[in-house]
Amino acid sequence: MRIFTARVIQLYKEKKAGDLVIGRHGSLRQYSLCAAPGHGTYRIAVKHEDTSRELHQPGTVSSSLHEHVQIGDTLLISAPAGMFTLDTTRTNPVAFIAGGIGLTPLLSMLQTVVKQQPERSAQLVYAVRDHHFHAFAEELQQLAAQNPAISHTIFYENGTEEDIEQKHCDYVGRITEAWLQQHIPADAEVYVCGPRPFMQAMISILLRKGITMENIHYEVFGPALAFSVD
């Protein structure tokens, strides 16, 4: 993962914050802002879609951003847009459930809770493959340490007992139904982002728990296809 922080040098049109569209070599891709607004900069984190997974060709834009963009370069980006933003008019507990790079929009929402609703109870549940994929570890530790209303729980799918002992993660394995049933408050507003099967599994559990679709918000990092839940 590579993190990019951009200072806006010319703004053409402002929209509601959410996702940026980056154009390079004629290809357009969207990236979620992963810091709360108000810093005078836009921050994104880009996972390199490289050839480490079988049958994959390297991703066009993520490879270009990882391999060719240098500090100080100027990129043409759209104004932020999108509907996957935190509803700060709500005061009920909020839970963010992230899988892999799906952490990015949820991190900016978590920061927004801290800034705008410091009393609101918020929890982040973050599932990653192992410590190599664990993004923003220090930043999350600090956020939770400095804000008593915030908690975060990390699951490493391929973790070890040593990871737990060294406090890299809280659990080894995937987020389970039993865990979510026990730890997500029934009246929570829940935001979910991650790979498609992950979201499908999480949302199915939340619905079984009795949380209604009205209180479940999600974003797909790809074409917005119909989304069925069990």
Q: Is 96 helix (H, G, I), strand (E, B) or coil?
A: strand
Separation of alpha carbons 203 and 86, rounded Å = 18
Q: How many residues interact with ligand FAD (rule CB under 6 A)?
A: 25
Please choose, from the candidates 83, 54, 67, the residue with its C-alpha nearest in 3D space to the C-alpha of residue 25: 67
Options 6-14, 48-56, 159-167, 208-216: segment touching ligand FAD (CB under 6 A):
48-56
Least distance to ligand FAD, CB of residue 222, Å = 6
For residue 155, the cross-strand partners are 127, 171
Residue 149 Cβ, how far from ligand FAD at the closest point, in Å? Answer: 25
Q: Which region, judged by CB under 6 A, interacts with ligand FAD, from 124-132, 168-176, 181-189, 216-224?
A: 216-224
Backbone angles phi, psi at 69, to 5 degrees: -80, 130
Residue from 35, 36, 61, 150 touching ligand FAD (CB under 6 A): that is 61
**Which one-letter DSSP state was computed for residue 153?**
E
| Binding of residue 85 to ligand FAD (CB under 6 A) | no
Contact flag: residue 49 with ligand FAD (CB under 6 A)? yes
Distances 123 to 11, 15, 24, 119, 189 between C-alpha atoms, Å: 34, 28, 36, 12, 11
31 binds ligand FAD (CB under 6 A): yes
The answer to whether 86 and 113 have CB atoms below 8 angstroms apart is yes
Binding site for ligand FAD (CB under 6 A): 19, 27, 29-32, 44-47, 49, 55-63, 101, 104, 219, 221-222
